[in-house]
Structure 1
C-alpha cells in the first residue's frame, strides 16, 4: 500500500477544496455577510493541511487499485470533514454531526438537508453549500487525475474507483484525456444551464445555485420551496431537460461531442432510462388527474418534474409529493432504487444493473425449460461477461442488505416505518428528500445524531457504489 501517495493525493484534494472555499469567501465578502470570518478560517485551515500533505515526496512506481479505492473513499470523508467548517464556524449549522451530514450530502450530490430555513442563510454559505454539489458531481478524484500529470501512472486506478456503474470505459486512449473531456462537457452543460435559467427570468445567483444542483444531480436550492418557489414553467422545463441529460452516461456525451450524436439515442441503457421516465410520467399523471382532480396539464407538469428529479436522484421539488396518492408515491420510491444511467452524475442502483438483473431472471426461466442450453446475457447486441453479471448480483445483494439493516437501525431510534424506509432509500440512492418526516417540504433536522451519521455513511456508500468503501473494512486491504 503506497500510503504516501494516498496522503499526497488527499492533500491535492484539500487544495482543490480550498480553492472552492476561496470562491465562496469572495461571494461572502461581496455580500458583506456575517460568514466572511468563517470562510477565512476555513480556507486557511484547509489550505495549510492540503499543502502539508501535497508536498510529500512519493514513489509513483508502486501503485495499484488499492490506492485508487483508498483515495476515493477517504477523499470524500476528508473533504466532507473540512467542508463542514464554514457551517460550524458561521453558526449556520452549529452541531458538528449535522454540519458533517450537510457537507457529505453536498459532496455526494444527495441533497438531503438539516437546514429548516435556507433563505435565512448568508449568500456565501449558500454558494459553498451548492458548490459542494458541483465539485462532487463528476468526482473530485477524476478532477485530480485530469489536472495532475504526475498521477498519470495511477490514472486508471483512480478513474476506475471513482466513475459510477458496473462497467468502465476509458472512451479516449489516456485516462487524463478522458477526465479532461468529462470536465469540458460538465463545464459546457453548467454554462448553458446558467444562461438558460437567467434568460427564463431567474436571478444570476439563483441560476448558479440551481445549475450546480442540476448538472451534479444534487438538488440543493436557496429556496425553502425548492424550484416550486418560482412557479415558472420555463424554469421547470429547463431544469428537467438538464436533469435528464445529466442522468445519461457522460461517455456518450463525449462521443456526441466527437460528432457521433447517434451514440446517445442508440444506447440501450439510455433508451430504457427514457422509457422508464415516460411510463412513470404517464402513470403518475393519470393517477393525479383521477384522484386529486388536477387539470391534465398540471398533472403532467408535476409528474414530469418529480419523476425526472427522483430518477436522476437530483431531489428538486415543485410539489409536495408526500401528499400524492399511494400509487404515485410507490412509483417514486421504486425510482429511488432504479436511479440514473451508469457513468452519469446520478445515483441509485443504475438502470444498466436493473437491465442485467432482468436479463438474468429471464435466462433462469429459459434454463428451466432447456437445462443444458448455454444462454448468454445480452444488452443490445453485446454479451455481458460473467464477471460483470456476478458483480451486478453481488452489488444488488449488498445494496438490499445494507438498505434493510439501515432501515432497522432508523426504526430503532424512533422513526416511523415510511420515514425510516425512505430516509435510507433517499440517502443510499443519493436522492435527498424521502417521505414522512423527511419529505420534500421538510428536512433531516429531526433525525438524531446517530441516525445522521448512519445516513451520512449511506450517502458515501451510494456515491461510491458500495465496494469502494466496503473494501476498506477488509483487514487484508491495508497489508503491504
Structure 2
C-alpha cells in the first residue's frame, strides 16, 4: 500500500502541481470573477486610447494585476465535486465582493474617485446594477473610466443572472418560473454540464441583446462610444450614464424610444427570448408572467399619461410616461423626467413597481413578478378557504401548479424581502435621513433601481444623504443583487458564532467548578 506522501500515481510526475491544488468553490469562482474583471479593465484601457485618456496606463496595469490574481486563484483552487448550500451562497457573495474590491482599487489608483467610501460605493453600484453614483458630473471623467463604469454594470448584470441559474435552483428558492429551465439540484449542481451549457447559451443571448441595443442607439443618432456604453447599462438594467441628464441629455425622442425598447428587453426573462428565437410561440403565449410584465408597463404608462401628463403634447406625454414606467418595472434607473417631483400618487405607484421588479430569469432586480403572482394566488386560495372551508384548491402561476414546498419558500422569501426593506428603512432613518427618503431609498436600493424620493431624488449624487446612510444603501444593494440569502447567511453566522463559543466554554467552566 502506498503511503500518504507517495506521489507515484500516473500523471503525477508530469504535472506535479495538480496534486497540490486545493478544493474551494469560493476561491475558484472568485478567481474567475477577477479574471473577467481584469479583462474588462484592459478593454476599458484600450477604449481610452481612442481619446488619449489620461489614465490608460493605470487601467491597463490594474486590469493586468487583477486578471493575474484571478488566474492564480483558479490555478491554486479547483471546484470540489460536492458543494454545500452554504458554500454556494458564500461563493456568490465572495465573487461579487472581489469584483467590487478590484474596481474600488482601480478608481483610487486612477484618481477618478479619491476617497475610499466613494470608490466602494461607485463600485458597488456598478456590479449590483444600481443607478446611484457619487459623481456629480460624469462628463469630466475620461472615456476609459466611463467605459469601465458601463462595463462593471454589464458584468454585474450577467453575474446576477448566473446566480439565479447556478445557485438559487441549487437551494430550491428560485421561484416557480425557473422550473421551466429544468435545472438540476443537489450538491453537484454547480458543476453539472447542463448548467454550464445554460450559462453559455444565456451569455450569448445577453451579448446579442447588447449588440442589438448598441445598433438601435447608433441608428437613433448616438455616437459609437455612447451607443455601446448605454447599451451596456440599459440591457443590464444598470442605469449608469455618461452624461448628467441620463437619456434626457440627448434631447431626442427617437433615442428615448430606443431606450424604452432596451429597458424592456433588459427586464425580460431570457427564457422567453430563447423561446422566441426557437419559434416556440405557444410557450410565449402561455407565459403568464410575460403578460403581467407587459400589463404593468402598459398600465403604469396609461396612468402616468392620464393623471400626471408630464409632456407638452400627446406624443411627448406618452413617451415620457412609457420611459418612466419601463425604467421602474425593469429596475433600470434611467430617466428623462424628474418623477420624484410628481404628484404623491404617481410617486407611490412607481415605488411599488420598483419594489415588485422585473421578470424572473432577467437581469432586473426587485421581488420579481413571478413571486408576486404566486403570493397573490396563495392569498386568493386562503380567502376562498375561509369562505368555503371544504373547498380544496391549489396555487397556480398561469397553468403551472406551485408545489407546497416551493410555495413555502416563496413566502419565506417574501418575509425576508420585506424584513430586509424594513431594517434598511430603520437604519437609513437612524443615519439621519427623513422618512420619505428612508422608506423609498430602502426599497429602491434593495430592488437595485437607484433613484428614489426625497434626498435620493432623480439626478442627485448618493453622497448627499451622508456617509452612514451611504453604507446602509450599499449593503441593501449588495443584498438585493445576491437575492438576500448570502447576506442572511452572513448575519446568521455572525450571530451564532458567539453563541457557539459560549456553549463550548460551558463544559470547561463546569469542569473547573468541580
Superposed counterparts of 1:19-58, under 5 Å? 19-58=39-78
Instruction: Name structure 2 gaps, 5 residues minimum.
Output: 1-21, 184-192, 501-514
**1:138 shift after superposition:** 2.1
**1:142 shift after superposition:** 3.2
Superposed counterparts of 1:198-217, under 5 Å? 198-217=218-237
Q: Is the 8 A contact 2:209 2:265 kept in 1?
A: no
Indicate the residue corresponding to 1:327 in structure 2: 345
Q: Is the 8 A contact 1:138 1:216 kept in 2?
A: yes
> CA-to-partner distance for each residue in 1:383-414, whole Å, 9 max, x for gaps?
11112211111111111111111111111222
Indicate the residue corresponding to 1:107 in structure 2: 127
**1:416 shift after superposition:** 1.4
Is 1:238 aligned to 2:258, yes or no? yes
Which 10-residue stretch deviates more, 257-266 or 96-105?
A: 257-266
CA distance in 1, matches of 2:474, 2:217: 31
2:320 to 302, 308, 331: 302
Instruction: Say if 1:369 and 1:213 are closer, same or farther in 2 by CA, change over 3 A.
Output: same
CA distance in 1, matches of 2:214, 2:79: 42
Is 1:122 aligned to 2:142, yes or no? yes
Is 1:408 aligned to 2:426, yes or no? yes
Q: Secondary structure at the match of 2:392?
A: coil
How many residues align? The count is 466
Indicate the residue corresponding to 1:374 in structure 2: 392
Instruction: Name structure 1 gaps, 5 residues minimum.
Output: 146-154
Q: Is the 8 A contact 2:433 2:469 kept in 1?
A: no
Q: Is the 8 A contact 1:240 1:309 kept in 2?
A: yes
Instruction: Say if 1:167 and 1:65 are closer, same or farther in 2 by CA, change over 3 A.
Output: farther
Is 1:197 aligned to 2:217, yes or no? yes
CA distance in 1, matches of 2:219, 2:464: 38
Superposed counterparts of 1:142-291, under 5 Å? 142=162, 156-157=166-167, 160=170, 165=175, 167-169=177-179, 170=181, 174-289=194-309
- Structure number with greater CO (CA < 8 Å, separation at least 6) is 1
> CA-to-partner distance for each residue in 1:11-70, whole Å, 9 max, x for gaps?
121111101111011122332222224313422331232132111143632323333222
Indicate the residue corresponding to 1:151 in structure 2: none
Q: Is the 8 A contact 1:430 1:463 kept in 2?
A: yes
1:91 to 111, 121, 141: 111
Instruction: Say if 1:138 and 1:372 are closer, same or farther in 2 by CA, change over 3 A.
Output: same
**1:295 shift after superposition:** 2.6
Instruction: Say if 1:402 and 1:394 are closer, same or farther in 2 by CA, change over 3 A.
Output: same
Indicate the residue corresponding to 1:423 in structure 2: 441
Q: Is the 8 A contact 2:354 2:366 kept in 1?
A: yes
Q: Secondary structure at the match of 2:462?
A: coil
Instruction: Say if 1:58 and 1:193 are closer, same or farther in 2 by CA, change over 3 A.
Output: closer
Is 1:436 aligned to 2:458, yes or no? no
CA distance in 1, matches of 2:321, 2:160: 33
Q: Is the 8 A contact 1:428 1:461 kept in 2?
A: yes
CA distance in 2, matches of 1:372, 1:57: 57
CA RMSD, 1 decimal: 2.5
CA distance in 1, matches of 2:122, 2:79: 36
Q: Is the 8 A contact 2:360 2:369 kept in 1?
A: yes
* Rg larger in structure: 2
Is 1:354 aligned to 2:372, yes or no? yes
2:481 to 459, 463, 472: 463
**1:449 shift after superposition:** 2.4
